[in-house]
Copies of this chain bind each other. A is one copy, B any other.
Amino acid sequence: MDAFLEAAIDEARQGLAEGGIPIGSVLVHNGKIIGRGHNRRVQKGSPILHGEMDALENAGRLPASVYKESVLYTTLSPCPMCTGAILLYGIPRVVVGENQTFMGEEDLLRTRGVSVAVVQDPSCIALMQGFIATKPELWNEDIGV
């Protein structure tokens, strides 16, 4: 498997081990991970630290030129908030672990010129299926339902 998607899955598993929501993400620039993170709703009581947002936060302040040469890997199809962050910073490519358990704003990303690749990785799907079955209310909270 792609080593960067694997790193995002490692983040998701770490989140699960912490009692959190198993979604992970890494930001990659020139073949190197410059930010990594996972959903921290439970761990930090945060409504904004989705996996992708946590990866961007942990990457720190960056010039626009870096974002525009980067790829964001995420284990799950990006929600509207994370999609908006991708659009704000002009990240040109997103690799999505799966969109079977949740379909995010992939159409909006593509409409705005972002390249979106969906892997349908079995590990990503299994992580989310297990989590949603176990903690449906927490999942609904995370997606505003």
Q: What would 8 A/B residue contacts be, using CB atoms closer than 8 Å?
A: A45-B61, A46-B61, A47-B61, A48-B48, A64-B140, A64-B141, A64-B144, A80-B87
Is A89 located at the chain interface by the 8 A CB criterion? yes
Report A67 CB to chain B, min CB distance, Å. Answer: 6
Q: Is the CB of B41 within 8 A of A46?
A: no
Neighbouring B residues of A81 by C-beta, 8 Å: 81, 84-85, 87-88
Q: Is the interface of A mostly helix, strand, loop or mixed?
A: helix
Among A51-59, A115-123, A127-135, the stretch that binds chain B is A51-59
Report A103 CB to chain B, min CB distance, Å. Answer: 14
Q: Is the CB of A56 within 8 A of B47?
A: yes
Neighbouring B residues of A144 by C-beta, 8 Å: 64, 67, 88-90
- Number of chain copies forming the complex: 2
Given that A80-B84, A82-B84, A84-B85 are known contacts, is A63 also in contact with B141, CB under 8 Å in the complex?
A: yes
Contact with B along A49-93 (1 / 0, CB 8 A): 000010011011111100100000000000111111101111000
A-B contacts besides A63-B141, A81-B84, 8 pairs, CB < 8 Å? A45-B61, A47-B60, A47-B62, A48-B56, A64-B145, A80-B83, A81-B88, A88-B144
8 A-B pairs closest in CB distance: A84-B84, A80-B87, A80-B84, A81-B84, A81-B85, A89-B144, A81-B88, A80-B88
